[in-house]
A and B are shown apart, each in its own frame.
Chain A
């Protein structure tokens, strides 16, 4: 129930924010036709169809139209490549200034932090419309020596092999950081092809320690590997509480402790330090908006306002909630544009020493992912 409450809270919050901002729902907008009447909005997804980003964007596209004034047609287009940078560049650089092109999907927050040259646009200039939070679950194979029966057995584990995608990816870096915080001794294997490849490697025992998003963990890994005892979940990375700490459990996983609690139980203190700050700088914004919808930087004000105004009602829509539950798991947490905008701006305000830390950490990863 927790998530419903937070959803409602967010919705009311953004609605009142919208009511206060001038020229949104006021008389001016009433007089003329709504901005989006008879128009088609494109949600450009920077990944191939079928993944988490694509699914959530399609659910939004399907249900958002009826809550935006003027009821625009909303379509989803896929423009995969360069960790999502191709689509971001496209929306940021070449989309027309008509407010009909939005980016949708996982926002690779590490692209700007690592100053990846593939990304040519400033993510701070986008107009954020909505965001869906997600968190991660780490799990271990139960046959790791000397045998893992409960989560805390991982501290005695021998021969852990951690699986990842790419040394620079926004999955691998927090994954390694979390394992490091726990003091786990592991070998790091990079190069797995997506979560499908990761689950296959876990099943084969090629790797034995892995982290994936709560949504796919709950819907796929739970029934196929947790139920039959192949793997044991360790912790979930956690969602934000009121103080901005990652102490909230995802409603879909009430029985898996947060990393915060897991760490505290072992070491008797709260997680802190540079590595924890680094984790927060990636997973923190993701706990508000891993998947974002944002209009191009050149979109007109009235377009931004009109789309944002449609979000609260969408998030309460029964059909939306039902589809979201099926595709993204039990009880999603979604937020309105103001909250997401603030979060992203804050997340991208990264101190130089933190950037330096990330770069060094990537280099360390390259060395770790060596030949056996």
Chain B
């Protein structure tokens, strides 16, 4: 107890408290810019902390780290662009709320959830350090594999109308997660001797491609502001309403905090998974599921609470055992060592007050970060009412640079665009995109841990007590899901909350039957080629691709049959002129041209110039706006990414410098 208070005293002292607030400012900024986040922040700030006292250094580092998952909501809700990998689930319901003109409400609820979740995570850090050992010891690869399997059951919750399509989407996510070196490193799978693919894909370019690119294209094609129906929705009081929403759903907030904190304790499963698990849980546990995916406030609260709760508990295995749970935690472990701190029992004995100072840092940072955002968001959120042309350049810039932060190679942009095309196709065909990300983040956890389990323990792992418990949970949730499906089919449909169709329904173009059929066909072809390529691989490399391939073809055939039927039956609907294929292709061609031009002259010139071309040619804006935006884009690239982030620029064919 004494140490607990001593920890607080250490943090509120000058200069620690100043550094803490500085860290919060930096963290809010890093979280809000897509592609940046806690990991980039650690890498950027660490050199500055070398000379500081440890308490001060960690006030800065953890102050920053605590709030990146608070501010990443901003772009996820306002622009449909996840600010960090941990906000991908927030997009699903947060963005439709923006489109409805309720951005402030979504943000208010998210910030409240983030603050509570973050404080909960910090308390988990304080309380679980002494008792963590059994969890780490008993939660070994077999249990991690089962956790992945359990996570996959959320596909149902994320699929919307068609579970079969959701399943294919998840299998697609699992398949792209197998790209790169197999677990044992024997072969590089589906890499086609391209170096970029050796280590596989990363979640940020994937999520930006699936969610942000389709939004960019649709905004450009329709030319409407993001809040398409928001003119009549009063903005005043929305923030307070959002806060009230979060408090009203206190039970969900609490459960999401527990989910986040628990996932944080498990090394190797980070915030990018916690948000999906919490989201899936919110959907599964809700009585009325009809509004999820269309702007249900609970779909914002759950992931935003969980991804902050991860932050505190994430530190536990790192501090207690030197087992970093995520990439960001490995950097933090490095920072620990640089400051002469050693993980292990010391942190609970001689360094206890320091440990508690970290808890307090997280508490203070989470609360002040949320309050700061509540005060500022009013101004920022006005962008959803701006003309599309004025915000598209910014979304393009941040999506592209966000993807670039992954490996700083043109491959990041090609990935972004390739999954962008996939995302547009999904949207047209009315297929759910979230299961792709879910499959992608769970895939490596399942595959690596099953592989290690089979090598070290063998199939006998199914008799481990925790594994048995998880199999039981799995069976029970299956049974429930089956019963629910039967009920739905027998007409005992789940009642809708507001007794009618939500406004957002009209926004969603009816699924195009042709795109739907072609997508099902394309997936069968994809899974078949994946199977064919994997035919001669060693067992460890081939196991997952083969299972995925077979399941994918079977489910694909089922969906294709239905898609053909509905294509035959479909009456030609009214043409959606704005979203016609040539129109979409033009915009995609424009985005592709950015990549080509960057290859030729480098992005520092290519990006601003192309954004100017977009404004002048597509948007027909006047020259003042064009020049203003081009200069702004250049300044952001040069100062923010170049000078501040030390980003590695593309080396162009024609090198002027």
Contacts and interface: CB of A to CB of B under 8 A. Distances in A.
Task: Tell whether A pairs with B.
Answer: yes
B345 A223 contact: yes
Contacts of B345: 223-224, 227-228
Interface stretch (A202-210, A236-244, A284-292, A301-309): A202-210
B337 A55 contact: yes
B195 A193 contact: no
Interface size class for chain A?
Answer: 35 or more
A220 interface: yes
Given A206-B141, A369-B184, A196 B330 contact: yes
A90 B650 CA distance: 10
B625 to A, nearest CB: 34
A371 B198 contact: no
Interface size class for chain B?
Answer: 35 or more
Contacts of A221: 322
Interface in B110-142: 136-141
Contacts of A59: 338
Contacts of A190: 183-185, 455
A219 B46 CA distance: 18
B504 to A, nearest CB: 39
Interface stretch (B220-228, B422-430, B446-454): B446-454
A129 interface: no
B193 interface: yes
Contacts of A4: none
A219 B337 contact: yes
Contact of A191 (B199, B338, B455): B455
Interface in A240-271: none
Residue in A49, A89, A96, A207 whose Cβ sees the most chain B Cβ within 10 Å: A49
B65 to A, nearest CB: 13
A320 B455 CA distance: 43
Contacts of B164: none
B456 A369 contact: no
Nearest to A199: B323
Given A200-B267, A227-B344, A369-B540, A189 B185 contact: no
B338 A201 contact: no
Contact of B195 (A50, A77, A118, A207): A118
Given A58-B46, A196-B267, A201-B141, A50 B327 contact: yes
Contacts of A201: 140-141, 452, 456
B655 interface: yes
B331 interface: yes
B640 to A, nearest CB: 15
A170 B646 CA distance: 30
Interface in A173-213: 187, 189-194, 196-197, 199-201, 203-207
B572 interface: no
A327 B448 CA distance: 30
Contacts of B480: none
B322 A224 contact: yes
Interface string A51-73: 10011001101100000000000
Given A54-B334, A96-B655, A196-B330, A80 B407 contact: yes
Contact of B330 (A51, A205, A207, A225): A51
B340 interface: yes
B448 A366 contact: no
Contacts of A82: 195, 198-199
Interface stretch (A8-16, A17-25, A159-167, A338-346): A159-167
A59 B339 CA distance: 12
B408 interface: yes
A50 B340 contact: no
A206 B451 CA distance: 12
A85 B339 CA distance: 30
Interface string B618-657: 0000000000000000000000000000111001000101
25 contacts: A42-B646, A48-B327, A50-B335, A76-B47, A81-B198, A85-B195, A86-B195, A161-B456, A189-B455, A190-B185, A191-B185, A192-B452, A193-B268, A203-B321, A203-B323, A206-B452, A206-B453, A206-B457, A207-B456, A220-B342, A223-B344, A223-B345, A227-B345, A366-B184, A372-B457
Interface of A: 42, 44, 48-51, 54-55, 58-59, 61-62, 75-82, 85-86, 89-90, 94-96, 117-118, 161, 165-169, 187, 189-194, 196-197, 199-201, 203-207, 216, 219-225, 227-228, 323, 326-327, 366, 369-372
Interface of B: 39, 42-43, 46-47, 50, 136-141, 181, 183-186, 193, 195-196, 198-199, 267-268, 317, 320-325, 327, 330-335, 337-340, 342-346, 407-409, 448, 451-458, 538-540, 646-648, 651, 655, 657
Instruction: For the complex of A and B, list the 5 residue pairs with the smallest distance between their C-beta atoms, beginning with the closest.
Output: A166-B185, A50-B331, A220-B322, A223-B344, A372-B458
